[in-house]
Amino acid sequence: MDTIYITGHRNPDTDSIVSAMAYAALKNALGSRQYQAARLGQVSDETQIVLDRFGFQPPKLIDNVRTQVRDLDYDTPLTLSAAATISRGWQAMQGGKISILPVANEDGTLYGTLSAGDVANYDMTTVRNPRVERIPIYNLISVLEGKLLNEGGEAWDDISGEVTIALPSSRESLLFSSSDSVVICGDQPDMVRRALDLQVNCVIVCQGEVSQELLEHAGNTCVISTPIDAYQALRTIFHALPISRICKSHDLVCFHLDDYIDDVQDAVLESRFRAYPILDEEERVVGMLSRFHLLRPRRKRVVLVDHNEKSQSVIGLDQAEILEIIDHHRLADIETKNPIHVRNEAVGSTNTIVAEMYQEKGLMPTSNMAGLMAAAIVSDTVMFKSPTCTRRDIDMANRLARIAGVQLEELGKAIFSASCGDDKTAEAMLKTDYKEFHIAGHNLAVSQITTMDSARLLDRKGEFFEIMTSTREKRGLNTVVLMITDVLLEGTQLLFTGDEDTIRQAFGIKGTENCAFLPKIMSRKKQVIPMLSALWG
C-alpha cells in the first residue's frame, strides 16, 4: 500500500511533531498500517527533549510531496541481458504486447533498449546481406532447438559466414562454393558431404539425420541438427545474434525513481522515444516509462495536522491529494479537489483534538505516547497560561499525565528551559518556532520563543535584530516580529522590524523603541495575528 504522510507545518514545534506522530499511531492502530508521521524541518531542542524523555525517534524528514516517477503506474516488463538472443527479446515483446524492452548488464544496470523497430531494421539488412558474424554457438543451438553433432571436434566459440539454403528444389544450393558459409539443408547426405568437403563453417541439417561416417569427415565444420524446417531455420539463425549487437546503447534518455514528474515531462517533450528506462538509486533497471503514464499520475496522499495554510505546509502540496486536516488555527487558503474530512476546533493544542479522537475510537494511547501528547499540550498552551487554552486542554493534559505517570509541572520546566540556552545562536532560536503569513498583500513572519527567563534573552537583543533584518531582506518580507514569551511574567517581550508604525499602533506601543513588553500577550495565533489582520485586512 502507498504511504500516507501525516505532517505538521514547516519549522515544526512540539505540538506539530507530536500530533503527527499521535495521529499516525491512531490510524495505524485502527488497522490501516499505511500512515507515517513526517516532519518538514529540524526538531527543536524542546521537542528533542520531549522525544528523548518518552523514548521516541523524530518522524521522517520530507522536503516536498511533488509527484515523482515512483508514484506512476509505470510498466515493469522483463529486463533482458545484453547477451540474450534477439529471438528471446522478440518473444518477450510479443508475449508482453509491448514494443520496447530494457536491456541490462549482469549487475542489473542499464545497457540499452531493444525496440520492435530495432528488430525490423536488422531483419531488413539480413534480406540485403544474408550473412552472420560471430554468432555464439550456444545461442545458435538454442534458437534452433538443435543439437551439436560433432562435439568431439574442435570447439567453436562463434559462427560466421554467408547463409545459404541448399535444398533439392533450391537454386541456391549451387551458390555455396566458399568455406566461409553457413549451409542449411534437409535430409540430404550428398549435400552434407559436399559442404563437409568444402569445409564450410557450419552445416545445419533440418529434420534429417547425419551418418557417423559423414561426421568423421567433418573436420573443422560445425554440424548441427534441428527439428525445424529449413525456411524457419533461415530466419531463426539471424535472431541468434546477441541483443547487444542491435539494441540502442548510446544517447539514451532515462529517469530515476526520485525524479519529479514536471522535470520528466520537459525531458520527454524534447525527445522522440516511445519509452524510457527507469532506474533505482543504485542505477539498476526497474521499469519503463511511456508518455501515457504521465497523463494521469498517481498523487502522493497527505494528512495535514496543526496547520491549514499553504505557506506553512509542505512544498508541492498542489501536486498531492489532501485526505484530512486536523487543526486548531484559523481557516486559511488551502484548497482541495474533493470533499475531505476537516476537524478544526477552538482549543489550545492539536494534540487535545487527537487525544479526543482516541477516546472516540475506544483506544487508549500507550503510556509513552500519552506522556508525549501531554507534553505537547503543555508546550502549546504555555503551561495553560495562553489565552488559547481551554478547559478541554487542561482536562486532557491531566488525563494523559495520569496514563503516563508524569507531573505536568515538571514537564513544563523541562520544556521551557530547553529553547534558549546560552550555547544557541540567535538565528537558531529565531527559526525554532518561525511562521510566515500573507495577510491582505502583506508578507509577515512571526517567531516565538517561550522561556522562563526573558531578561537573559533581552541581553542579546542586538543579535536578534540583526538576524531579523537579514531574514526580512532575504525572504522579501514586509515585517518580522519576535515574541519572547515569559511563562513566569505571563507576557511577551515584542521585538519588531519593518512596518514599525503598524506594530506600534496595533499594540499601543509608545515611543520609538522596536521592543516593548506586552502583559498577558501569550499567543501568536489568538492575540498577535488577529491584531495585525484587523489593521491590514
DSSP string of 274-311, one letter each residue: SEEEEE-TTSBEEEEEEGGGGTSPPPPEEEEES---GG
- The tens place of each residue's pLDDT in the chain, 537 residues long, gives 589 999 999 989 999 999 999 999 999 999 877 999 999 999 988 899 999 999 999 999 999 999 999 999 999 989 999 999 999 999 999 988 888 999 999 999 999 999 999 999 999 999 889 999 999 998 999 999 999 888 754 567 888 999 988 866 555 445 566 788 999 998 888 888 888 888 899 999 999 888 888 888 888 889 999 999 988 998 899 999 999 999 999 999 999 999 999 999 999 988 888 899 999 999 999 999 998 898 888 899 999 999 999 989 999 999 999 999 999 998 888 989 899 999 999 999 999 999 999 999 999 999 999 999 999 999 999 999 888 999 999 999 999 999 999 999 999 888 887 666 667 889 988 988 899 988 888 999 999 998 888 888 999 999 999 999 999 999 999 999 999 999 888 899 999 999 898 899 999 998 888 999 999 999 998 899 988 888 776
**Are residues 34 and 2 in contact, defined by beta-carbon separation less than 8 angstroms?**
yes
Cell reading at 239:
535472431
- DSSP structure string for 61-114: E-SB---BGGGS--B-PPPEETTSBHHHHHHHHHHHT-SEEEEE-TTSBEEEEE
Give residue 172's pLDDT.
47
Give residue 417's pLDDT.
77
Between CA 19 and CA 15 the distance in angstroms is: 6
Between CA 373 and CA 351 the distance in angstroms is: 6
Residue 147 is classified by DSSP as E
**Are residues 356 and 22 in contact, defined by beta-carbon separation less than 8 angstroms?**
no
Q: What is the pTM of this model?
A: 0.69
Locate CATH 3.10.310.20 in the chain: 426-536
Give residue 463's pLDDT.
94
Locate CATH 3.90.1640.10 in the chain: 4-67+300-416
Taking the alpha carbons of 210, 214, 216, 219 in that order, is the dihedral positive or negative?
negative
Give residue 419's pLDDT.
62
Between CA 341 and CA 136 the distance in angstroms is: 64
CATH fold for domain 4-67+300-416: inorganic pyrophosphatase (n-terminal core) (3.90.1640)
**Are residues 305 and 19 in contact, defined by beta-carbon separation less than 8 angstroms?**
yes
- Tell me the angle at which helices 391-404 and 408-416 cross, rounded to the nearest 10 degrees: 100
Between CA 101 and CA 159 the distance in angstroms is: 26
Between CA 247 and CA 125 the distance in angstroms is: 14
**Are residues 240 and 140 in contact, defined by beta-carbon separation less than 8 angstroms?**
yes
**Are residues 399 and 474 in contact, defined by beta-carbon separation less than 8 angstroms?**
no
Domain 426-536 sits in CATH at: 3.10.310.20
Cell reading at 16:
506539530
Q: What are phi and psi of 212, to 5 degrees?
A: -65, -30
Please classify residue 325 by burial: count the beta carbons closer than 10 Å to its beta carbon, then call 0-12 exposed, 13-18 middle and 19+ buried.
buried
**Are residues 135 and 160 in contact, defined by beta-carbon separation less than 8 angstroms?**
yes
